[in-house]
Amino acid sequence: MMKIKAFTRILAMSGAIFALVSCNQKAEFHTASYVAISASSVEVREDAGYIDIPVYAYVQNGDLSFPRAESANTVVTFEVIPDTAVEGENYTIEPAGGVLTFNDKSEAVLRVNVVDHEGIDDTKTLAVRLTGATNGYDLGGMDEVTVNITDSDHPYAHIFGTYRCDGLEDPLGGGTGSLELTISPVSGNYSALSIEGFAPSAAGNVDLNAVIGTAAGQLLSITTGQTLGRYEDADVTFTAVSSFTSDGYYPANALTFSIADDGSTLTSAPFGYLIGFPVVENGQTYTSIIDTYVKDEAVFTKVQ
């Protein structure tokens, strides 16, 4: 047992001496100058026009130092790897021909020109890969970049515009009337839509804001209780209703429209709302109604 321990100790000491000798030797690297792409992935909106992707040349200067080669002269070849993006339809590449030339510079540029398409589309993807370099340059680890071309169109752009509905009933004023509702986007929020035109009778008296609707798929909903402006020191509000009777109105949680696939019509069944403000008389609060319209089914047709 003692002999085994002694032998183990001798082996351990020999290993330590070998390790010390090894650590005392200078490490040697034989890495050539190289070219590399500046990023492994980039993103560009389809309406941006183009995106430039720098490719850099690095020159060996010692074992571990690779500064930018400020006067590089090399020809770099590259290839486009198609994915969901189609060349000529979604993008073009410069320089054409798959050749990138460094003329006494440390940087050359791959330019991806992007095509802006109307209509909603998925993100389109392609990749560019460096395939070779001349004059003693190798390819670095960053030899491929993925380019994601994102859609710039609003997902509900097809319903922007003005819609008209005739024959709406005015339960309080009597008779019928028409509404023209104009739908437009809300900056910074793709699911929110601005809807103007709900209070034609109040336009001269109250500085009203648009109501804000929320779109989800083929539905557009306008929640009740939105504040639209001020009148006589009171908030003017939008209230969705399900129906009017001789006893009053029945509030609803929201006024909901179904959207035609092509955005040509908005349909609400039932359709009803009122716009008014609170008035206090004899200690009781009443709603002073400015505008109100209802219909069992209202179809708004796009007019522009």
Q: Backbone phi, then psi, for 143, in 5-degree steps?
A: -110, 5
Give the β-pairing of 107-114 and 50-58: antiparallel
Do residues 33 and 138 touch, judged by C-beta distance below 8 A? yes
96: tokens are 């054409």
Task: Provide the token pair at 141.
Answer: 């680890």
CB 100 within 8 A of CB 128: no
**Does residue 7 surpass a pLDDT of 50?**
no
Per-residue pLDDT averaged across 217-222, rounded? 96
Confidence class of residue 208 from pLDDT cuts 50, 70 and 90?
confident
Q: State how far the Cα of 170 lies from the Cα of 290, in Å rounded to an integer.
A: 11
- Residue 8's pLDDT is what? 34
- The domain ranges of the chain are 34-150, 157-302
pLDDT value for 119: 67
115 three-state secondary structure: coil
- Structural tokens at position 91: 């993008």
The confidence band for 134, taking pLDDT boundaries of 50, 70 and 90, is: very high
Is the pLDDT at 27 greater than 70? The verdict is no
Structure tokens belonging to residue 211: 């109501």
d(CA 258, CA 269): 9
Q: What is the pLDDT of residues 164-194, one digit of tens each?
A: 999 999 887 788 989 999 999 998 888 899 9
Question: How far is residue 60 from each of residues 68, 103, 137, 148, 239, measured CA to CA in Å?
Answer: 9, 18, 10, 33, 73
**DSSP bridge partners of 163:** 181, 302
pLDDT above 50 (res 247): yes
Q: Tell me what pLDDT residue 143 has.
A: 97
Hunting for tokens 């998925």 — which residue is that? Answer: 122
**Alpha-carbon distance 56 to 74, whole Å?**
11
What pLDDT does residue 245 have?
83
Of the candidates 109, 114, 133, the residue with the CA atom closest to the CA atom of residue 124: 114
Provide the token pair at 208: 């009203």
Q: Average pLDDT for residues 104-125, to the nearest whole number?
A: 89
The two tokens of residue 110 are 């791959």
Average pLDDT over residues 280-295: 87
| End-to-end CA separation in angstroms for the chain | 99
Residue type, 106: S
Rounded mean pLDDT of 255-265? Answer: 96
pLDDT in tens, 53-73: 999 999 887 555 678 888 899
Confidence of residue 31 (pLDDT cuts 50, 70, 90): low
182 contacts 150 by C-beta, under 8 angstroms: no
The model's pTM: 0.59
Identify which has the larger pLDDT, 110 or 151: 110
CATH superfamily ID and name for 34-150? CalX-beta domain (2.60.40.2030)
